[in-house]
Every structure is written in C-alpha cells, then in structure tokens.
Structure 1
Amino acid sequence: MALTNPAFSTNPAFKENGQAQTAATLSAENLQQMYEAPSATSVQTDRMTVEDTIVKTAICFAFLLAGAVVGWIVPALALPAALVGFVLALVNIFKKKPSAPLILAYSAVQGVFVGGISFVFEAQWQSIVIQAVIGTLAVVGVTLALFASGKIRASKKATKIFLIAMFGYLAYSLVNVILMWTGVTGGTFGLSSDVRIFGIPLGVVIGIVVVLLGAYSLVLDFDAIKQGVANRAPRIYGWSGAFGIMVTVIWLYLEILRLLAIARD
C-alpha cells in the first residue's frame, strides 16, 4: 500500500494476536452448525467492513446535504462555516480515535459552506451547480469502477508524483490569492482566468490536472479502506474511511465548480 491512514497504522488493534482454533478440536456436529450459521455482521464481530463503511459514508453525505440546504438558504453562513469546518477537519485528522459525532459535525458544517458557495456560483453562472454535481459523481463513479476492477491502484511512484503536484498546486494557489488581494490581477479568478495557453484559460488547464489529482486521492482513500478491512481494524475506523472520502469528494466538487466557472466566464 502506497499511503496508509495513520488511524489504521498506529493502532495496536490491527496486529493479529492469539491462536486460531483448529478444526480438530471441534466435533462434526459443531462444524455443521458453524457452516449453517449466517455470516456474522460487522456489529457482531466489531470489525471494519466495506459495507459498514459505505453506510457510514452515506450517513455523512446525508448530513452534508442537510447542511447544504441551510447554506443555500442562508449563503452568508458560508464563510463562518468554512472556518469551523477547517477546525473540525484538523481535529478529526489528528484525533487518535475517530469520533462519529465530530465527523458528522464536520459533514454538516462543510455542507453549509458548500451550499453557500454553490448559491453564489449559481447566481453568476446559471445551471453550473447541477453540472458540477454530475461531473463529481462521474469522476467518483469512474474511479470507483476502475479501482474495483483492479485497473487502477495506488503505488509509491504515483503517490510521490501526487504529493509533488499537490504542493505545486498549493503554492500556485497561494501566489494567485496574494496577487488578487494586492490588485495585480483583475480577473475573477486571478491568474487562472487572466493567463491563457493557446487561447485556453490557465485555470482550465490546471483544473483538469487537479481533477485528476482528486481522482487519485479517491484511489488512496479506497486503498486505505481496503487495507483497514484486510487488517481487521475495529469497526469504529469505518468512520475514518467515511471522513477521508468526504474530504476528497468535497474538494473535488469545489474544484470542478471552479473549473466550470472559469471555462464559462
């Protein structure tokens, strides 16, 4: 695995202990009863499963959508929600043991932020929100399908390239914001809309690259969940998997939203 979730790799619960009971100590009747018994659920085994992580992720998205409705109705809450969401993200990232209430709170608060930003973009570029939603679902769906089929996997080399590209993008974003604040650039999105490459706005070119980075980030999330299940991690770490997917999908949606806005500006 190229990149592990610290919540999985540092917890002793992932180390296999004890000795397995052999079939020789069981009678034929006991073996038959074990064979006929239904499979144990994640609740009964207290172990992380893909299915349970999917349920937790769906719950997070329900909280996200509820918050988005509030943000859409009161877009002025977007900025304070962004600040609170950032703090909650840090708390969830550095917390040793995942907390369902904190992760759900993060989802709801980020929903308010996403809803407010979406309202602002929709007022400027009609129908852009539905396009961004469809684009996000398409990227997530294709990435999940490729990962499930084994056609795409995380690797050390790809992860190194991913990290370098991410640092480069963060540096560009910081410089762009400074230039916009100081009035050096006058476009809606600064350099992203002012600078053109063969007639194409720089923001469109960078946006496509960032969407690819977001897709690979999803691969890392799926890989971390797969590894957690394989390591028989405690069931509560399904919330860590859900949190990771939430962070990536929200970032991916916002980048696609900006990409479409730059292309249509």
Structure 2
Amino acid sequence: MRSRNPVFSRRGFSRDNGYAGFNTAPQAGGPAVGTQGNPYAQGNPYAQPSGNPYAQNPYAPQDLYGAPPQAPVTTAGRMTMDDVVVRTATTLGVLVLTAALSWALLPVDEATIGRSYGIGIGAALVAMVLAFVQAFKRRPAPALILSYAALEGVFLGVVSSIVDTHFASGAAMQAVLGTMAVFAAVLVAYKAGWIRVNRRFYGFVMAAALGFVLLMTVNLLFAVFGGGDGLGLRSGALGVFFGVVGVILGACFLALDFKQVEDGVAYGAPREEAWLAAFGLTMTLVWIYFEFLRLVAILNSND
C-alpha cells in the first residue's frame, strides 16, 4: 500500500516487505511470468494477473488477458512523455505566475511584512491540505493539482521576496538556478544509468527523508515553544549542513519521480496519470528550491 503522505507518496511504487519493486522489465507485450517483471505487482492490490497494472486500460499494451489478438492496439489514450512534459510545464507555469504576482502585489517592507507573511503561511497551509486530499484520491484531479500549485506559488513568492529584500539580494534567482542545475544533473545521471533506482535506493531515501522530516519537526516545535531557532538545525553551520542534506534528498526524490514516469509510460498508464507525475515533480522541485533559498539566506546571514 502506498504512503498517504503527499511528500513521500509516489504513485506506482508498490511495497514488498517495505520496499518497492524496481529494476524490472514491463511484461505488457506478452503473458506474465510470475510477478518479478512488474514493479507494481509486489503487494499491490491493483496489480492485474497479466503483470501489467494498467491491463484493464483499453489503451494499454494488451496481452493474453487483454483484448482479443485481432483487436488493434491504440496509443491514443496512453500516457506519453510529451503528456508529462506538458502537464508539468502547466503546473509549474501556474506556480511561477502566482509567485510573481504575490511578489509584486504583497510588499514586505517593515510596515507590511507581517501581513504579507501571514498571507503566505495561510496559502502554504491550504496548499498542504490540498496536497493531502490529492494523495488520498485514487484518481488525479487537475483542478486540485493546479490549485495546489497556485497556492504554493503565493507562499514561495512571499518568502522569496522576504529573503531577497532582507537577507540576500538575488537569492531567489540563485535558488532557481540551483534548482535547475540539480534537475538537469539528476536527469543526465538517471538517463546515463549512474543512478540505479532499486529497492535498496528506495528504502534508503525513504528512511533518510522520514528521519529528516521528523528532525525538522522537532526543531520547529522547540522553536515555537522555546523561542529562537529551536535546536539550531536551521541556522549557522548546522543549518548549512541540513540544507545540503535537504537538497540531496530532493535530488533523490527526483530520481524516484523519473522512475515513476518511465514505468508509467512503459506500462501504458492512462493519460490522466500524467497529472500525478506533474504533481510529484512539482512538489519535489518546490522542496529543492526552498532548501536552496534557505541555504542562500543562511550563508548571507553569516557574512
């Protein structure tokens, strides 16, 4: 059963004794032999006997359990890489647009910074709720995903404006360039085979991310009730260290996202699944951008 956490949930990764089934070849073109060829079959209640999780999809590659042999196979309703690119670009476009509008329309001078920051935090909380709702849904909801992106953009626009104005001029652009560099590097490394997304990789990333989030939550609670920076994990040398760890974890999640997209295309996922891929990629890129922004702010505050 996949995780319901919108940060950790990655649709298409099934669980087998706590790990996902990776590095397997699609079986959609012929009869399945056991379940070893299907990364979705291990412990997946939705897996089909053919070895293809989308076998009931009329657009998926058919096998002995699918359409009659004489029926032509169509790709009209199957997810393609172009679908993922278009949906991801749309989602990120909405996020960037609302970020730019909030930057321009919500001033962060000394007199208005509190109000603007409150609006940003409110948008972030609503975006989190929408992310959880989508994580619980069995099917993607484009309106929900785009609303999440819009609200997340408001939050990032306000926070970026604050950091750029009060901590480091040009911080937002540096964070954008850093995020783009990580995305390009992980994509090249993944396509070149330098990153192997297998069960061990998945287990390590999920365990490390869970520990990271729990540690940051404890630090936040200490900050709320004790004042200051809590345990000091988000400032100074420790802040830089954990910022780098956060970026590395984001890069690892990008590799998981790429694997999800690759498997979805290979198994003939329905076209609507491209929205889930866009949702996952957007959340991961937001994670990486925010960690870069925090790093720039910490490094400049130490100057």
Query: Per the shorter chain, which TM-score range?
Result: 0.7 to 0.9
The answer to whether the aligner puts 1:96 opposite 2:102 as a matched pair is no
The one-letter code matched in structure 1 to 2:160 is S
Counterpart Cα distance in 1 of 2:287 and 2:217: 16
Q: 1:14 aligns with which of 44, 54, 70?
A: 54
Instruction: Give the number of the structure whose alpha-carbon radius of gyration is greater.
Output: 1
Find out whether 1:68 has 2:99 as its counterpart: yes
Relative to structure 1, is the Cα distance of residues 105 and 192 closer, same or farther in structure 2, using a 3 angstrom cutoff? Answer: closer
Structure 1 position 157 matched with structure 2 position 210: no
State how far apart, in whole Å, the 1-side matches of 2:71 and 2:219 are: 63
Find the aligned partners of 2:230 and 2:224 in 1 and give their Cα distance. Answer: 12
What's the CA shift string for 1:72-91, capped at 9, x where partnerless? 12244211110110011011
Change (3 A) 1:264 1:188: farther
In 1, Cα distance between equivalents of 2:172 and 2:231: 18
**Contact 1:177-1:190 within 8 A present in 2 as well:** no
> 1:32 maps to which residue?
none
1:103-252 correspondence runs (5 A): 103-124=145-166, 125-183=168-226, 186-187=228-229, 190-193=232-235, 201-252=237-288
Report the counterpart of residue 11 of structure 2 in structure 1. Answer: 5
Q: Is contact 1:84–1:109 with CA below 8 Å preserved after alignment? A: yes
Unaligned stretches of 5+ residues in structure 2: 1-8, 15-39, 41-45, 56-61, 107-115
Aligned 1:41-80 pairs, distance under 5 A: 45-72=76-103, 73-74=105-106, 75-76=116-117, 77-80=119-122
2:215 & 2:174 partners in 1: Cα distance?
A: 26
Deviation readout 1:37-59 (Å, 9 max, x if unpaired): xxx8x6xx110001111011001
Identity of aligned residues (%): 35
TM-score w.r.t. the length of structure 2 is 0.72
TM-score (norm 1): 0.82
Cα displacement string for residues 127-175 of structure 1 (whole angstroms, at most 9, x for unaligned residues): 1111111000100111111112222131111111111211211121122
Structure-2 separation of matches of 1:55 and 1:82: 25
Kindly report structure 1 stretches of 4+ aligned residues shifted beyond 6 Å.
none
The CA distance in 2 between the partners of 1:71 and 1:11, in whole Å, is: 44
Secondary structure, aligned partner of 2:272: helix
State the SS of the aligned residue for 2:234: helix
Determine if contact 2:224/2:230 at 8 Å carries over to the other structure.
no
Relative to structure 1, is the Cα distance of residues 20 and 66 closer, same or farther in structure 2, using a 3 angstrom cutoff?
A: same
Q: Which ranges of structure 1 fall in alignment gaps of 5 or more residues?
A: 24-39, 195-200
Distance, in Å, in 2 between the alignment partners of 1:130 and 1:226 is 30
Counterpart amino acid of residue 61 in structure 1: L
Q: Matches of 2:231 and 2:289 in 1, distance apart?
A: 17
Structure 1 or 2: more helix by fraction: 1
Q: Which amino acid aligns with 1:89?
A: A
Contact 1:179 1:190 in 2 (8 A): no
SS at match of 1:182: helix
**Alpha-carbon deviations, 1:13-40, whole Å to 9, x = none?**
70241233399xxxxxxxxxxxxxxxx8
- Code of the residue aligned with 1:54 in structure 2: it is V
- Equivalence for 1:253: 289
